[in-house]
Structure 1
Amino acid sequence: MIETIRASAIAQALKLLPAKMTSPEAEVLLLAIGLQESRLTHRRQIGGPARGLWQFERNGGVRGVLEHKATRGYAVSVCKMRGVEPLADAVYAALEHDDVLAAAFARLLLWTDPKALPAAGEIGAAWDYYLRTWRPGKPHRHTWDGLYAQVMDAVLEAA
């Protein structure tokens, strides 16, 4: 599952973004956050409003990426390439069915943080980055280490 999402969603999303946004650190963090948020399975939040594998809310991550000075232009470009109107309602609706769009918006949300991405394997720093960028309502630190380890295993196997 991790490799499938990596190849079908993340790799395709990164092709829509500038090369400077592509790195092993970005892929590891995107996969770990995807596992944490949806187990890379649920495209509609169970009992909540979030959509997509990275669980974006319309007035949270979606609006944030569309309006942030560092990501707005990239977000509009990605929306055009995916055939989605660059409006919060349209993106929010599309995230549930377009994993490439969801992965691109997830990468753009990471881009809004001025700090450098943590190195692959820095579990605690990755957790802190996730908290700053996703601002989860009910963070589950007790699951992060195990999910992060799954990502590291999958990435090392693929290398």
Structure 2
Amino acid sequence: MPTLAQVRTLVHDLIKPGLEELGDIVGSKQQIASREAVVMLTAIGLQESALTHRRQLHDADPGPGVDLQPIQTPGLGAYGLWGFEYSGIRLTLRHAKVRALRNIIEALTSVGLDPDPDARSANASRIMADDKAALWLARLYLLTDNQALSLDADEMWVVYKRVWNPGKPRPEHWPANFKLALDAYPEKPLPLTKRGAGMILTGVSAAVTYGPDIVHTATGMKAIQLGPTWQTIVGVMMAAGMILTLIGTIRARKATGK
């Protein structure tokens, strides 16, 4: 099993940028490269291959001290980091939702995949040789299911089983794999430079504007009256703070795919 640092590197170098590139081509970046999609594909890759093996190993255990060898018969076993069988490759490429995507032919051919659903052998070889091609095919495979992706491990286990239909599901491994995927791509904090500055500006402006009246009401002390120039400055500060807060919030939501 790879370490958290290794999985984070894969997420940073392959999965997240790869999904963003696919999303740009097909015109649906927010859906294709959402945090839910990144986490789900990371978890599936861990479940299928530990994000390490690009050819499924023999199911039979020959015993201690004997190396497991890749299956050599074409069409048997699974291919690529996301463990595609021939049937999965064909189903993905012929599915109506996938075929309806904008620029899908361009997307497939740009990573060396053949859009022909029957080109299973060529595509199987391709996804063993190119991890980005395997990632894109896996993301398209998830589109064939109607359930929205989420960050709930139990819900996503059901989706994984339904879509990948693994011969040996190994449910006992899924919780740890899903948690590792979540930890490898944590939710980003809201941008401090914009949202934090905006909240500070808004708070200071509100304090200057309303503070004296509140103090006067509570203690009877005479409230300080701001001149027209200072009233304008405080008003601009409050407006700028609210705008920065809004921009920071929007950027954070886009960054997490929500």
With normalisation by structure 1, the TM-score equals: 0.89
Structure 2 unaligned spans of 5+: 1-5, 59-70, 72-76, 190-258
Letter in 1 for 2:108: C
Residue 160 of structure 2: aligned partner: 130
Residue 63 of structure 1, aligned match among 72, 87, 90: 90
The CA deviation at 1:131 is 0.7
**Which secondary structure does the structure 2 equivalent of 1:156 belong to?**
coil
Residue aligning to 2:111 = 82
Question: In structure 1, how many angstroms separate the alpha carbons of the residues matched to 2:53 and 2:188?
Answer: 24
Question: Counterpart amino acid of 1:92?
Answer: A
1:84-115 Cα offsets, whole Å, 9 max, x none, are 33232221111111100111111111111111
> Higher mean Cα deviation, 46-55 or 77-86?
77-86
Pairing 1:10–2:37 present? no
CA contact (8 A) 2:8 2:184 kept: yes
Structure 1 partner of 2:248: none
Alignment counterpart, residue 172 of structure 2, candidates 118, 136, 142: 142
Alignment deviations for residues 119-149 of structure 1 (CA, whole Å, 9 cap, x no partner):
x2x1100101111111111110011111111
Q: Larger Rg: 1 or 2?
A: 2
Task: Give unmatched runs, 5+ long, in structure 1.
Answer: none
Q: Once the 2 structures are TM-superposed, how far is the Cα of residue 27 of structure 1 from its aligned partner?
A: 0.5
Match of 1:23 in 2: 34
2:127 touches 2:134 (CA, 8 Å); kept in 1?
yes
- Percentage of matched positions with identical amino acids: 38
Quick one: distance in 2 between partners of 1:106 and 1:85? 15
User: Match for residue 49 of structure 2?
Assistant: 38
The corresponding residue for 2:79 is 51
Contact 2:49/2:82 (CA < 8 Å) preserved in 1? yes
The alignment status of 1:113 with 2:145, answered yes or no, reads yes
CA distance in 1, matches of 2:169, 2:124: 22
8 Å Cα contact 1:12/1:100 also seen in 2: no
Q: Deviation of residue 158 (structure 1)?
A: 7.3
Q: Aligned-pair distance for 1:72? A: 2.9
- Aligned-pair distance for 1:12? 3.7
**Amino acid aligned to 1:63:** R
Go from structure 1 to structure 2 and tell me whether the alpha carbon gap of 1:132 and 1:77 turns closer, same or farther (over 3 Å shift): farther
SS at match of 1:93: helix
What is the alpha-carbon distance in structure 2 between the residues aligned to residue 41 and residue 90 of structure 1?
21
What letter corresponds to residue 107 of structure 1 in structure 2? Answer: R
- Check whether the contact 1:66–1:76 (CA below 8 A) recurs between aligned residues: no
> Structure with the greater relative contact order (CA < 8 A, sep ≥ 6): 1 or 2?
1
Give the equivalent residue in structure 2 for 1:93: 125
Give the distance between the partners of 2:105 and 2:123, measured in 1 at CA.
10
